[in-house]
Amino acid sequence: MNVILEVNDLQKTFGAVVAAKDINVTISEHETIGVIGANGAGKTTFVNMVTGYMKPTAGQIKFLGQDILGLQPRDITCRGISRSFQVPQVFMSETVFENLLMAYAIFEDTGLDMLKPIMSEERTARVDDHLNRYQIADYRNAIASTLPQGVRKLLDIAMAAVRSPKLLMLDEPTSGISVEEKFPLMDIIMDALKQENTTVLFIEHDMEIVERYVARVLAFYQGEVVCDAPTEEAMVDEKVRKFVIGEEYHRTRIERVAEDSADA
């Protein structure tokens, strides 16, 4: 697989506080990666630096072979890296259709061009495709502020993906979602992204989500990547057990795997 993102010796400090230390990560196309770690471990700092929302103190970030360090978020998005946030970033007073249409147009036009009409046959077709792909077509004309939380999450992620980024970075896609909704919601998201061969990296605290949907795990602790491994290996890694998931979850996981094997 072709490498699309290279992060070398990435660091971020705030005075004496080290938020990111010696981060070295390579991501190839079509990968699905889960980023795990306790609050304050450096997960969001890492995503913020890659997407231009935070400037690293030192290090290098290359996307598709080009240096993107220091670029503005909009410029990075235009190059093919998109993201969503833990709290959905939608236009609350606009309809679902209008939200997607604006998300599509905003990274295509510049300056005063944004004052021109944004409706076009191509854009409308793309938006309608995403409405169906993310299973929110029934809410096409609904105002975003009236949407159920799960639908709002789907809209937010559909907006981030509407221009077919090469790499999509999601911040806790299941936060605020009920236990009953989390797997159906993730099925919709991952199926939609798979259809477009999108490389996906997402921050997640729910280990059931991580185990079910990602093939590779990056585990953060105190600003460092302490484990970078296939999911099965990461879940039994000593540092992951100690610093991230805890021994209780590890024991529960072993019991669950044993039960599944017995049932099979």
Low-confidence stretches of the chain (pLDDT < 70) are 108-119, 248-251, 253-264
How far are the Cα atoms of 51, 108, 116 from residue 111, in angstroms, in the given order? 21, 10, 10
For 86-104, how does the pLDDT look when each residue is reduced to its tens digit (9 = 90+)? Answer: 777 899 999 999 999 988 8
Q: Which residue has tokens 């605020």?
A: 176
pLDDT of amino acid 49: 97
- Please give the pLDDT value at position 120: 72
pLDDT for residue 238 = 94
pLDDT value at position 105?
81
* pLDDT score of 111: 39
The whole-number pLDDT of residue 25 equals: 98
Q: Residues spanned by CATH 3.40.50.300 within the chain?
A: 1-80+169-177+199-245
Q: Is 94 exposed, middle or buried (0-12, 13-18, 19+ CB in 10 A)?
A: middle
Q: What per-residue confidence (pLDDT) applies to 254?
A: 64
Structure-derived torsion over alpha carbons of residues 95, 96, 101, 106, reported in degrees to the nearest 10 = 90
- In CATH, the number for domain 1-80+169-177+199-245 is 3.40.50.300
How many Å apart are CA 148 and CA 50, to the nearest integer?
30
Task: Return phi, psi of residue 169, to 5°.
Answer: -115, 120
What pTM does this model have? 0.89
SS3 of residue 132 by DSSP:
helix
Q: Which of 37, 42, 39, 31 is nearest to 4 (CA)?
A: 31
Q: Tell me, rounded to whole angstroms, the distance of Cα 250 from its chain centroid.
A: 25
In this structure, is the dihedral angle defined by the CA atoms of residues 147, 153, 159 and 163, taken in order, positive or negative?
Answer: negative
- Count helices and strands in the chain by DSSP H and E runs: 10, 10
pLDDT given for residue 264 in this prediction: 59
Q: What is the DSSP string of 99-115?
A: HHHHHHHHTT--GGGGG
Can you give the pLDDT at residue 227? 98
Dig out the tokens for 189 from the structure. 């998201």
pLDDT of residue 17: 92
SS (H, E, C) 113-147: HHHCCCCCHHHHHHHHHHHHHCCCHHHCCCEHHHC
Measured CA to CA, the distance from residue 71 to residue 51 in angstroms comes to 9
